[in-house]
A and B are shown apart, each in its own frame.
Chain A
């Protein structure tokens, strides 16, 4: 038995994604969002997390997967993560299980994976019949794109 890692998984469109459990503070049902005009488009808005104001990032938009998690009629979930001093909420379609993976099975992103998404992924694990994308939270939160009107 080698080194293992705990991952919190969630669905984004057709992708199965995950972040390390240690980075996740909590998972919340859909919350009322206050839009943040002027912010990069991936910023879905702000939520009130027990008195703390938290910026919500729409992962579908951020990863260029088409559509957005928070705009449609479907409900979405908040995966609240910590990064440095800041707390962010990642908006995802559905929450999956927490799974344990063997670090030995970790692989770099496959060459077939293109587009902006590649930059945002640390690597992958192959699970039975699905590919699990492990996201690079720090990269996700670097929203350097200019203000989009």
Chain B
């Protein structure tokens, strides 16, 4: 008995999963059909979906579901037969069917019953619509609108036609129900369903319980930790056999981790699929003509993250239609095409997924935003005067800004951009906005590929280790043994550092965490981690950078989270717990009062001091040293040699789900390789959305150029050499090296004018 119940429950569950998937498809298909009314493929697909739901709901005795889908099917059958054309009122009616079905399914999911939703009215309207269309077609009247008033809701249904609910019998038989109804339209033989186009995929894929996947991901994470511990231990033991076993373990664990992570990846399309409907409905409601373009829908993202970006993305889309795209009249007056373009773009970029929502609407006027922010007391007049347009636009994300700005029932329901930002930051991402008044706005979300495992650096501060996610890290600056205080400056209360001519506000980690250093207050801070959070750069002063490591993020108790200092914890290779710094929050907390820092900093003339440059020293070949300017170091990485592949005359490396052009400096500079190794360290340089990797044999140090004594020595790929720390060190010709890896690197988008110097063979060393 119970097994029977279980079986039935299982069937219902399957039905729900399948139907909900199909409904998303249906939404898309209907809207696509509106663009291409003649498409038989789309019609067939829609018909099939409705037909399937109808059939199964009959079988499972969900009579309301069957009633609506049956009515919709009848309408679709005539449409498919070409008796009349698709008109907006039909699309509206069918979309309402989708909504009704979705509502019923939700109720079924809730308590396995259809609830008391009223569907006969909708069914009657569909039937009336069908009769009107058929009538119009017969009398040769144009098959356009037969009723005024657009969406049929208000039109009285002529003579309510009750579609009889099928009798629930012990042996439900769809075909019997069908023929039992005196409806000539469906008496015809059921549509010969063509072979499911998806069946090929269906055969090679299975449904897996998400819980199980989550568990596998957790276990893979644990395995990675255990591996790290074993490797660390094994490195201290002389045992060849153990070494080989560890090597295997290392490889297997990495592959397993990668594989398991991939199982959770889903294309972002899954989230986008709801948006055409949102755009259509909202466009109609607000009198906007909007064409939605989507690009990069196949970009994959961890499913938990996907879930988390759904609402922010929907909000941005609604916002773009409400506040961005103008009405057709306004657009015409502005000399634009009446139809606004809303573009969604997703792409992998340097270990993150970048999702853009662009519109070609009226744009955001920084002056207006600035004025409002002053009115609301969010910034002072003085401060505003010193802000760049981009900084002003960032005020949109400040809590208390957007909620009261323009309240409409579309996007101003108290859900402001600050909520978008909070939601995105919660998953370790960031939001950015760019706008050109009159031309449009781009909202840009940067989202990590996955939450469970993130690349991080471990830093030391007052004897304690902390992890800093690399997402926030721009570069590391070594203060090179000198006393920190002699290298940093004070502007008012704030400590700053001159980094390539710009003043960087500093936050001392020990102060931020209120760590008391034991003994006399010896200043041991020697490295600045240059971080970006909230669209601002700042330097975090720490004692030392220990390592880069893939860390598994572990939750911490509520009390720890409430501190606003840590985003979680992780377990390091030696088994010790390490806290992960919440860089966004630390920035907000210590730079907020830093508003004064910024404005004071801005007052200081910056150009007069020739700052010293930072160099990354790497080893190539067996013992040659090469210096790379730190501004081309977006990130330090380690690349498994096995992942480096030859493509034509160039090399690429698989990197976080993408392909990165790579050059091995040892080869580039004819140094031969050092010892054979499984992993080579290197730097990733990203500029204007392109990234390239420069791999070396070993990362040795970061020094400041002040200590560099130069000599000229020209050789291929070099711009000279110098003595750094008593060793002759060659100075890399960055441009040549990058072009050798990716000849297109500097080509396009130079017009973007992003304010970052492109290093060239002269400029980089000038």
Contact = CB atoms under 8 A, between A and B. Distances in A.
Interface in B500-530: 513-515
A40 B559 contact: yes
A48 B579 CA distance: 12
B557 to A, nearest CB: 4
A53 B555 contact: yes
Interface in A112-149: 141, 143, 147, 149
B557 A88 contact: yes
Contact of B579 (A36, A52, A143, A147): A36
Contacts of A88: 557
Contacts of A51: 222, 225, 554, 571
A73 interface: no
Interface in A21-39: 32, 34-39
A55 interface: yes
A73 B458 CA distance: 29
Given A51-B222, A143-B559, A34 B577 contact: yes
B515 to A, nearest CB: 5
Contacts of A8: none
Contacts of A143: 559
B558 A46 contact: no
B665 to A, nearest CB: 38
A18 interface: no
Contact of B577 (A39, A46, A147): A46
Interface residues of A, number: 24
Contact of B513 (A38, A43, A141): A38
B514 A38 contact: yes
Given A34-B464, A51-B225, A39 B563 contact: yes
A47 B577 contact: yes
A45 B578 CA distance: 10
A36 B560 contact: yes
B514 A32 contact: no
B565 interface: yes
Contacts of A48: 571, 575-577
B464 A53 contact: no
A55 B557 contact: yes
Contacts of A37: 464, 513-515, 565
Interface string B519-558: 0000000000000000000000000000000000011111
A38 B464 contact: no
B515 A39 contact: no
Given A34-B464, A46-B577, A39 B571 contact: no
Given A37-B514, A46-B579, A149-B514, A53 B559 contact: no
B263 to A, nearest CB: 21
Contact of B554 (A38, A39, A40, A53): A53
Contact of B560 (A39, A47, A52, A149): A39
Contacts of B557: 54-55, 86, 88
A90 B522 CA distance: 34
Nearest to B570: A53
B569 interface: yes
B149 to A, nearest CB: 53
Chain B interface, DSSP helix/strand/loop, else mixed? mixed
A46 B556 contact: yes
Nearest to A143: B559
Interface size class of B (residues with CB under 8 A): 20 to 34
Contact of B558 (A40, A52, A86): A86
B563 A38 contact: yes
B551 to A, nearest CB: 12
Nearest to A55: B557
Max chain B CB contacts within 10 Å: which of A38, A52, A88? A38
A80 to B, nearest CB: 13
A148 to B, nearest CB: 8
Contact of A43 (B464, B515, B559): B559
Nearest to B510: A37
A89 to B, nearest CB: 11
Contacts of A34: 464, 569, 576-579
A53 B556 CA distance: 6
Nearest to B568: A53
Contacts of B514: 37-38, 147, 149
Given A32-B576, A34-B576, A34-B578, A55 B513 contact: no
A103 to B, nearest CB: 31
Contacts of A86: 557-558
Contacts of B560: 36, 39, 43, 46, 55
B516 to A, nearest CB: 8
A145 to B, nearest CB: 11
Interface string A51-70: 11111000000000000000
Given A46-B579, A51-B571, A38 B565 contact: yes
Contacts of A53: 554-556, 569-571, 577
B559 A39 contact: yes
B543 to A, nearest CB: 14
Nearest to B465: A34
B691 to A, nearest CB: 33
Nearest to A84: B558
Contacts of B578: 34
B556 A55 contact: yes
Max chain B CB contacts within 10 Å: which of A36, A37, A38, A54? A37
Interface of B: 222, 225, 464, 513-515, 554-560, 563, 565-566, 569-571, 575-579
27 contacts: A32-B575, A32-B576, A34-B464, A34-B576, A34-B577, A35-B464, A37-B464, A37-B515, A38-B563, A38-B565, A40-B559, A43-B559, A48-B576, A48-B577, A51-B222, A51-B225, A51-B554, A51-B571, A52-B554, A53-B569, A53-B571, A54-B557, A86-B557, A86-B558, A141-B559, A143-B559, A149-B514
Interface of A: 32, 34-40, 43, 45-48, 51-55, 86, 88, 141, 143, 147, 149
